[in-house]
Amino acid sequence: MNKYNIKKPKKKIYIGMIIGLILIALLSMPIWNIKDIKVENNGYYSKEEIIEASGIKTHSIWDLSFSHARKEIMKLSYIKNVDIKYNFPGNVIIKVVENAPFMYVPFSGSYLCLNEQGQVVSQTNNLSNPIPLVSGLNFSEFKIGEILAIQNDDAFLASKELINTLHEYTYEDKVKEIDVYNLEEIHLYVDNLDVIMGGIGDFDKKLQWLIATHKNYDMGILDLSQVVKSGQASLRPIT
């Protein structure tokens, strides 16, 4: 009876060890290695920037902490949310929600950085992002993380349309400032030119004309408000 009781526990230990070794062998197989990392919904940050921030490498899935990777990605200034999933075999998918900068607006000697929805992302003293500065929006106060209470909302909507058109023609980095104070006489400041675009109508056609010809003008006030109708522009000195 005593011999039976001694042998039975030993048999269970051996079986447990065998099962443990099998599990270790299975979990160390190459099928658990990360082969591909995909990044979705990114626009402002590149795939490489997000992967680098995450710290995720092409090692075993068992070496990866999703919570740590998410925390590291969230340190990027313009990331609002992150979701990380593992798809068997070997695929990691990082889905991000960006709070990407869209425009700057001046405020009391500083600048507010807004996203496309008008939410205040940050306040800064430097125009570090290659996005336009928009003047002519009326507001009196702000809170970081909240939608800016703009009194002339039509000017903000016009600004969005203008910036998206500039982006379509990959021209937004050439425009230093957009003035929408008067929507019948919108100004773009490009290099040393004050470009009068007139109203928002036919803005894309006026912009095409500007892109094609502005290198011919060094400095001054370039009036394109009637260029679509007349085919002519006028340049006069800045006084």
What does the pLDDT look like over 156-180, one tens digit per residue? 999 999 999 999 999 988 899 999 9
pLDDT at 213 over 90: no
Q: What is the pLDDT of residue 34?
A: 77
Q: What is the pLDDT of residue 2?
A: 52
State the pLDDT confidence band at 28, using cuts at 50, 70 and 90.
low
Q: Of 127, 75, 74, 80, nearest to 105 (Cα)?
A: 127
State the pLDDT confidence band at 22, using cuts at 50, 70 and 90.
low
pLDDT at 149 over 70: yes
pLDDT at 200 over 70: yes
Work out the average pLDDT over 195-219: 90
Q: Which two tokens stand for residue 211?
A: 């892109």
- Domains of the chain in sequence order: 32-98 (3.10.20.310), 103-236 (3.40.50)
Q: What is the pLDDT of residue 128?
A: 84
pLDDT at 233 over 80: yes
Cα-based distances in Å from 76 to 37, 56, 57, 187: 18, 15, 18, 33
Other C-beta atoms lying within 10 Å of the C-beta of residue 5: 8
Alpha-carbon distance of 119 to 75, in angstroms, equals 19
Q: What pTM was estimated for this model as a whole?
A: 0.68
Residue with tokens 């929600």: 97
Alpha-carbon distance of 69 to 47, in angstroms, equals 14
